[in-house]
């Protein structure tokens, strides 16, 4: 058995869905279980729709556009439009409710986003049937995906793996097409696993059924030496270790959701990242140990804010740093790239986590400076102990504002203005991959 997950661009339109179904057909002897994302751009459109509705803006055109996109694909694939009839009706009703409520709560937002995957799974399964492959669409929560009620960032509840394994067994040649990204909490509310979370769904299902391989089918040739959208000459990496892949994902490489690797490691299942647009390419294999190149890949994260807090008055005491970090912790805000002295601490956080409330709380500890439009650029590899000279000389013209202390030797991150990111990634790529 294998799991095959297809991301948004892989199911972006009728032509692409035909291609995907061709790929699935070629793997039938491996007994695939398919996981799909929403059609390309749909999750973003649903979020925009929800925000506009809550703001009491007339969203009828936006809503019809999202629905029409799906019906167009259904028409082009020659399918029956009834397959998403119930979902579109529920979606219309939900948007109305949000309008009435004047608020997009996290619970409503997750419910709203779930329609993307629910519609795409039904379309892909119906087209598989049409192409002669026995298939059936499932909403992940109907095959046992039970999560915490953490809307927007839900995680699995114990027992989920065995439940999914049980419900997916004995399917005799039928290919399940399961919604990525979504689950339900124990009280029956729809939840999501975080943006890009369909990769995580795939590895959860892989672990639950004891798959031989978890395949993440996307729009590039695997994990590459840098984001190919920035570096045209980026190369695909043949093998990376579980650790490196997790590190890269956590440091911003969008190709893989950061939680994808753990269920695979725990069950010793290789993860392969493949390109739907170039299916004969070998892609990247993620498994126990990579080849251990010095620098494996360069990654980045935009839309971060750097906040520096310097202790004033009676706060100039030993526990200052812990107290400041406690303020972020109490709000569930992840901090990154921490640099500190006894009376000062600098951190970076996601742009969306910076609220006036947070800043007000921090101001009680000292003077606060916040630098917006910042970004983190990171090198990931197996041994970064002697790369500093090359790194600094390639970035001579760029002002580096902060640098990670060299804790693990496996990654090196630096903070800079967002406008320098593309040029920094390109320069570092030229230095470490000569091209
Ligand atoms: P999907 O819709 O298939 O889940 P994503 O858009 O989430 O695809 O992830 C694939 C994208 O990740 C690529 O198009 C690429 O721009 C981006 N990316 C960022 N860093 C890397 C990297 N190191 N290797 C490959 N792709 C990367
Ligand atoms: N559709 C969801 C998103 O856009 C999940 C995914 O694509 O993995 O974040
Ligand atoms: Mg993705």
Q: Report how far Cα 82 is from the mean position of its chain's Cα atoms.
A: 31
- How many beta carbons lie within 10 A of that of residue 64, not counting itself? 13
Is the CB of residue 415 less than 8 Å from the CB of residue 424?
Answer: no
Query: What is residue 197's predicted lDDT score, i.e. its pLDDT?
Result: 98
Residue 119: which of 71, 152, 164 has the closest Cα?
71
* Residue 135, strand partner residues: 175
For ligand 1, the distance from its centroid to the CA atom of residue 299, given in whole angstroms, is: 11
DSSP string, 362-417: HHTTEEEEEEEEEEEEEEE-S--TT-HHHHHHHTTTS---EE---SSSSEEEEEEE
Closest protein CA for atom 5 of ligand 2: 196
Query: What is residue 318's predicted lDDT score, i.e. its pLDDT?
Result: 78
Write the CB contacts of 305 (distance below 8 Å, at least 6 apart in sequence).
348, 349, 350, 351, 353, 354, 370, 371, 372, 374
Is the CB of residue 116 less than 8 Å from the CB of residue 42?
Answer: yes
Q: Which atom of ligand 1 is nearest to the CA of 40?
A: 2
For ligand 3, the distance from its centroid to the CA atom of residue 261, given in whole angstroms, is: 14
Starting from the edge strand earliest in sequence, which strands make up the sheet with 135-138, in order?
A: 135-138, 175-179, 32-36, 2-6, 213-218, 271-275, 284-287, 239-241
Query: What is residue 338's predicted lDDT score, i.e. its pLDDT?
Result: 83
pLDDT of the chain, 435 residues: tens digit per residue: 999 999 999 999 999 999 999 999 999 999 999 999 999 999 999 999 999 999 999 999 999 999 999 999 999 999 999 999 999 999 999 999 999 999 999 999 999 999 999 999 999 999 999 999 999 999 999 999 999 999 999 999 988 999 999 999 877 889 999 999 999 999 999 999 999 999 999 999 999 999 999 999 999 999 999 999 999 999 999 999 999 999 999 999 999 999 999 999 999 999 999 999 999 999 999 998 756 668 999 999 999 999 999 998 888 887 899 999 999 999 989 898 888 887 899 999 999 899 999 999 999 999 999 999 999 999 998 888 888 889 989 999 899 988 886 566 788 999 999 999 999 999 999 999 985
Residue 347: which of 153, 359, 360 has the closest Cα?
359
Exposed, middle or buried by CB within 10 Å (0-12, 13-18, 19+), for 235?
middle
Pairing of strands 284-287, 271-275: antiparallel
Residue 179: which of 222, 124, 134, 129 has the closest Cα?
124
- Taken in order 346, 350, 354, 358, the sign of the CA dihedral is negative
Residue 62: which of 36, 83, 76, 41 has the closest Cα?
41
Pocket of ligand 1 (CB under 6 A): 7-10, 37, 196, 218-220, 223-224, 226-229, 253-255, 297, 299
Residues in the chain: 435
Query: What is residue 394's predicted lDDT score, i.e. its pLDDT?
Result: 92
Rounded CA gap, 339 and 347, in Å?
Answer: 7
For ligand 3, the distance from its centroid to the CA atom of residue 431, given in whole angstroms, is: 28
For ligand 2, the distance from its centroid to the CA atom of residue 164, given in whole angstroms, is: 21
Rounded CA gap, 192 and 178, in Å?
Answer: 14
Query: What is residue 336's predicted lDDT score, i.e. its pLDDT?
Result: 86
Query: Any idea which ligand is nearest the CA of 180?
Result: 2
For ligand 1, the distance from its centroid to the CA atom of residue 79, given in whole angstroms, is: 30
Query: What is residue 406's predicted lDDT score, i.e. its pLDDT?
Result: 59
Instruction: Give the count of alpha carbons within 13 A of 369, CB side only.
Output: 7
Q: For 368, phi and psi rounded to 5 degrees?
A: -120, 130
For ligand 3, the distance from its centroid to the CA atom of residue 155, given in whole angstroms, is: 17
**Whether the CB of 38 sits within 6 Å of ligand 2:** yes
Rounded CA gap, 33 and 205, in Å?
Answer: 8
- Which of the listed residues 11, 43, 205 should we mutate to test ligand 2's pocket, taking the one with most ligand atoms within 8 A of CB? 43
Residues lining ion ligand 3 (Cβ < 5 A) are 7, 196
């Amino acid at each position: 058995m294998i799991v095959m997950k297809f991301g948004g661009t892989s199911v972006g339109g009728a032509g692409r869905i035909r291609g995907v179904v061709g790929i699935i057909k070629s793997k039938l002897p491996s007994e695939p279980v398919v996981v799909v994302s929403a059609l390309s751009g749909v999750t973003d459109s649903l979020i925009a729709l929800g925000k506009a509705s809550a703001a009491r803006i007339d969203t009828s055109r936006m809503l019809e556009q999202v629905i029409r996109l799906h019906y167009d694909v259904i028409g082009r694939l020659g399918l029956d439009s009834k397959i998403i009839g119930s979902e579109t009706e529920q979606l219309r009703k939900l948007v109305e409710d949000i309008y009435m409520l004047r608020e997009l709560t996290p619970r409503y937002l997750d419910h709203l986003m779930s329609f993307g995957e629910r519609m795409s799974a039904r379309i892909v399964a119906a087209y598989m049937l049409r192409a002669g492959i026995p298939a059936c669409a499932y909403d992940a929560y109907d095959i046992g995906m039970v999560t915490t009620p953490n809307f927007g960032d839900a995680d699995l509840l114990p027992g989920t793996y065995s439940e999914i394994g049980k419900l997916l067994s004995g399917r005799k040649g039928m290919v399940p097409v399961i919604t990525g990204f979504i689950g339900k909490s124990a009280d029956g509310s729809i939840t999501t696993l975080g943006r890009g979370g369909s990769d995580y769904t795939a590895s959860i299902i892989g672990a639950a059924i004891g798959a031989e391989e978890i395949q993440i089918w996307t729009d590039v040739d695997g994990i590459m030496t840098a984001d190919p959208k920035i570096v045209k000459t980026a190369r695909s990496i043949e093998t990376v270790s579980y650790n490196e892949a997790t590190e890269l994902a956590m440091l911003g490489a969008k190709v893989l959701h950061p939680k994808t690797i753990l269920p695979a490691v725990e069950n010793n299942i290789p993860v392969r990242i493949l390109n739907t647009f170039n299916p004969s390419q070998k892609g990247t294999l993620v498994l126990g140990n990579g080849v251990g190149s010095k620098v494996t890949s360069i990654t980045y994260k935009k839309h971060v804010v750097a906040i520096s807090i310097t202790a004033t008055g009676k706060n100039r005491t030993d526990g200052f740093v812990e107290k400041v970090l406690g303020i972020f912790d109490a709000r569930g805000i992840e901090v990154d790239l921490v640099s500190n002295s006894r009376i000062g601490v600098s951190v970076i956080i996601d742009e969306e986590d910076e609220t006036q409330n947070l800043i007000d709380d921090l101001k009680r500890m000292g003077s606060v400076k916040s630098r917006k439009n910042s970004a983190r650029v990171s090198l990931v590899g197996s041994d970064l102990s002697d790369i500093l000279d090359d790194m600094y000389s390639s970035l001579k013209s760029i002002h580096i504002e902060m640098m990670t202390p060299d804790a693990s030797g496996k990654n090196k991150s630096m903070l800079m203005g967002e406008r320098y990111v593309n040029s920094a990634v390109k320069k570092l790529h030229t230095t470490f991959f000569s091209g």
